[in-house]
């Protein structure tokens, strides 16, 4: 299992629970955490995908390759641009719409059988890693979306 703090960022406070004796360590979150099943990724090493969605459209997708099972860029994962995957993009868009978010960084992992799982929907996603493999300017795209939807369409 994975233990994640309810409010966290950049991989801080995420723990992998492999045996019963690991459970006391989650008390450091003062009892506010959630548990998630650990999913091994497809292929060699450790990786997942970040799909960045703005207003129902995928603007960029990257693969994050971690040095360990934790694939956060802030924890040393490398980023690579990937070809857009229609199934992955549709999953990210649907997840963002289901929870009513204007934008999100949707983290998806592909297991050894090729099944896709959403492992996190980030309401305040960092995009430093994304911009390292993406030709656009994420801040500019977010600002333009706000202007288009809330200022020009009043």
Q: Are 21 and 33 in contact (CB under 8 A)?
A: no
Q: 122: buried, middle or exposed (CB in 10 Å: 19+, 13-18, 0-12)?
A: middle
Tell me the mean pLDDT in the region 125-132: 84
Q: Are 48 and 107 in contact (CB under 8 A)?
A: yes
Q: What value, to the nearest 5°, has the Cα angle with vertex 152 and ends 147 and 154?
A: 115
pLDDT of residue 102: 92
Assess whether pLDDT exceeds 70 at residue 27: no
pTM given for the model: 0.82
pLDDT of residue 138: 92
pLDDT of residue 23: 65
In this prediction, residue 104 has a pLDDT band, given cuts at 50, 70 and 90, of very high
Residues 6+ apart with CB under 8 A from 47: 41, 63, 64, 65, 66, 71, 109
pLDDT of residue 154: 65
Span 62-95, pLDDT tens digits: 998 988 777 777 777 889 999 878 999 999 999 9
Assess whether pLDDT exceeds 90 at residue 116: yes
Containing H/E element for 130? helix 128-131
Instruction: Check residues 76 and 109 and name the one with the higher pLDDT.
Output: 109
């Amino acid at each position: 299992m994975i233990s994640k703090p309810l409010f966290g960022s950049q991989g801080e406070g995420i723990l992998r629970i492999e045996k019963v004796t690991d459970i006391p360590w989650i008390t450091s979150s003062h009892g506010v955490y959630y548990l998630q099943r650990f999913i091994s990724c497809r292929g060699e090493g450790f990786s997942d995908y970040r799909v960045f969605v703005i207003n129902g459209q995928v603007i960029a997708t990257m693969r994050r390759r971690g040095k360990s099972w934790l694939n956060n860029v802030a924890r040393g994962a490398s980023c690579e641009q990937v070809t857009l995957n229609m199934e992955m993009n549709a999953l990210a868009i649907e997840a963002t719409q289901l929870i009513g978010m204007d934008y999100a960084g949707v983290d998806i992992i592909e297991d050894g059988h090729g099944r896709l799982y959403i492992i996190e929907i980030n309401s305040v996603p960092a995009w430093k890693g994304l911009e390292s493999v993406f030709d656009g300017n994420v801040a500019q795209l977010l600002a333009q979306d706000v202007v288009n939807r809330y200022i020009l369409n009043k």
